[in-house]
Structure 1
């Protein structure tokens, strides 16, 4: 079983406005209310691709109830921890000439809530995959992903981490199965600006030297690069298509990669599935369906 963890889920209020006018009333042309959070997105795309998973994380208030209802409606199994105070955040995704986001804060997660999560993770076995994805609230210690990996290390759980900066760097000595920075995040880790694929590959190899088994680097419109534990290096330009919604594309890439890897145990196929799922979501108003992913795969 695959388990995804989202520390700060959200309701994503996605609105389209033809022309934004500051200090004036703006009326929407389109509206969507979707469950958000990187781990949740991974679970939904996995479900769309026929792979079951359980979405873990923390929810609170009426927004938390709505998040859980929507994730279940997408066909996913949930096992969220409900916090009695506060409410899960609402994130505004404003689409006009470009994309503007306003993200909420979310509830305070106390130590007792973290202990509840640890108890759930105690049930994992070496047949399970754990996906740690996204940012964490200020109430959670920066070492949380590292702490989780330490707790499951004796269970030989396959761990995937999609996070930024210290959240990602701190887990490398625990040898995660897969990490997925984008090229800008990779540059930020080392304090450099990466301009060529050769530079990206060189610094991706540094992450492997620091402990990551496999490194999947997304580069938006420039494609993706994969560095495997067996020494393989795969590069691919971005598939051609009109980008409609970039939210969730990176999470879809993680889901596609895992689907491909579980399907054939082959890194090249997993890489192509990752690119296909990420691009298919970017080309769609919502997260990619299986048919949309397969259509993109045929173009690679």
Structure 2
């Protein structure tokens, strides 16, 4: 039974990774494959003989699938069940934060990252930095001397711009949250790729990659600007621009996650 359980979970993980990689390469989610995989996970969970660790891993995988589909609350419910059954205590918050960021809930992601990032293992620090950058937590990069990956230099410059004007980076997060909530409502895929640029005299720019016709992107940028003007008014608004730009095949890359299921 244990060998069968291991094999089933390994196959489930490999299939989810295949779906995830196809999404990263095309910005199109295979809904049929996702639904088929969900049904398989739910069937495995009905087996009363599987161990607690395998049950935890299955709930984690199901949460990841649901998060990619935009079903955030259902995803969180399964991540919580994974934690209940013994999944790594650091894994669950970062998995939830990843789902939040993918679905435009930047403030929620930041609150989780702030609580747990200091306890995270060293092998995921690079990924945490990417999450911090996406969540607008540029203050952590203020005094860094690192230059790689390239976004760290821009985050450091953004932090200096904010500090010189007495602006807390939570104001950046609030605006990213507003913009990303609009973006996620109007696109057909999770928020996957973003780019940050910052330079004194030029300001701070966040660009999100979206697969859509150019006329739809132009309309979406108007909606983002309208939402930002309706919801925010402060000195940061003279320094910050947030927009969507067209996804292209050369932007394809691996979708990173904080944790992968380990079969033991």
The structure with the greater share of residues assigned to strand is: 1
> Which of the pair has the greater relative contact order for Cα pairs under 8 Å at 6+ separation?
2
Same fold, TM-score > 0.5, yes or no:
no
Q: What TM-score do the two structures reach when normalised by structure 2?
A: 0.32
More helix by share: 2
TM-score of the superposed pair, with normalisation by structure 1: 0.29
